Amino acid sequence: MYQVPQYGYPQSYIPIPPPDLRRMQEEEKLRKIANRAGIAVLCYYGLMFAIQMLLLSLLSMWGLVDYSQVSNAFQGIEPLAYYLMTGVCATVSAVLPAALLLRSSREGVHALLPFASVGKRKMVSYVVMGLAVCMFANFATTILSNNLSGMGIPEYASSTPFDGSPLSVLMLILCVCVVPALMEELVFRGAILGSLRRFGDGVAILGSAGLFGVMHGNLVQIPFAFIVGLILGYLVVHTGSMLPAILVHFFNNLCSCLMVIFGFYLDAHVYNIFSYILVILIFVVGMLGFFYLSKRDRGLFTLSQKRFLIPFSGRLGIFVGSPAVIAFLVVMAIMTLLTIVGGMML
pLDDT digits (tens, 9 = 90+) for 93-108: 999 999 988 888 877 8
The half-sphere exposure of 271 on its side-chain side, counting CA atoms within 13 A, is: 12
For residue 20, give the amino acid letter. D
The half-sphere exposure of 69 on its side-chain side, counting CA atoms within 13 A, is: 10
5 assigned to some structural domain: no
20 assigned to some structural domain: no
State which residues form the domain around 42: 28-345
For residue 143, give the amino acid letter. I
pLDDT at residue 137 above 50?
Answer: yes
Q: Are the C-beta atoms of 29 and 317 separated by less than 8 Å?
A: no
18 assigned to some structural domain: no
pTM: 0.88
pLDDT at residue 301 above 90?
Answer: no
pLDDT at residue 71 above 50?
Answer: no
1 assigned to some structural domain: no
pLDDT at residue 265 above 50?
Answer: yes
**Mean local confidence (pLDDT), 146-168:** 70
Mean pLDDT score across all residues of the chain: 85
- Specify which of 67-71, 222-226, 306-310 reaches the highest per-range mean pLDDT: 222-226
**Mean local confidence (pLDDT), 147-154:** 66
Q: Cα separation of 51 and 186, whole Å?
A: 19
pLDDT given for residue 18 in this prediction? 63
pLDDT given for residue 105 in this prediction? 81
pLDDT given for residue 252 in this prediction? 95
pLDDT at residue 73 above 50?
Answer: no
Report percent pLDDT > 90 for the chain. Answer: 48
Q: How many CB atoms lie within 10 A of CB 117?
A: 9
2 assigned to some structural domain: no
pLDDT at residue 157 above 60?
Answer: no
pLDDT given for residue 233 in this prediction? 97
Q: How many domains, in total, are found in the chain? A: 1
Q: Are the C-beta atoms of 253 and 177 separated by less than 8 Å?
A: yes
Q: Are the C-beta atoms of 197 and 263 separated by less than 8 Å?
A: no
For residue 7, give the amino acid letter. Y
261 assigned to some structural domain: yes
pLDDT at residue 210 above 80?
Answer: yes
Question: Of 63-72, 181-190, 298-307, where does mean pLDDT reach its minimum?
Answer: 63-72
pLDDT given for residue 107 in this prediction? 78
Residues 6+ apart with CB under 8 A from 240: 114, 116, 118
3-state SS track over the chain: CCCCCCCCCCCCCCCCCCHHHHHHHHHHHHHHHHHHHHHHHHHHHHHHHHHHHHHHHHHHHCCCECHHHCCCHHHHECHHHHHHHHHHHHHHHHHHHHHHHHHHCCCCHHHHCCECCCCHHHHHHHHHHHHHHHHHHHHHHHHHHHHHHHCCCCCCCCCCCCCCCHHHHHHHHHHHHHHHHHHHHHHHHHHHHHHHHHHCHHHHHHHHHHHHHHHCCCCCHHHHHHHHHHHHHHHHHHHCECHHHHHHHHHHHHHHHHHHHHHHHCCHHHHHHHHHHHHHHHHHHHHHHHHHHHHHCCCCCCCCCCCCCCCHHHHHHHHHCCHHHHHHHHHHHHHHHHHHHHHHHC
pLDDT digits (tens, 9 = 90+) for 220-238: 889 999 999 999 999 999 9
Positive or negative CA dihedral for 119, 125, 128, 131? negative
pLDDT given for residue 167 in this prediction? 85
- pLDDT bracket for residue 70 (50, 70, 90): very low
pLDDT given for residue 159 in this prediction? 61
pLDDT at residue 72 above 80?
Answer: no
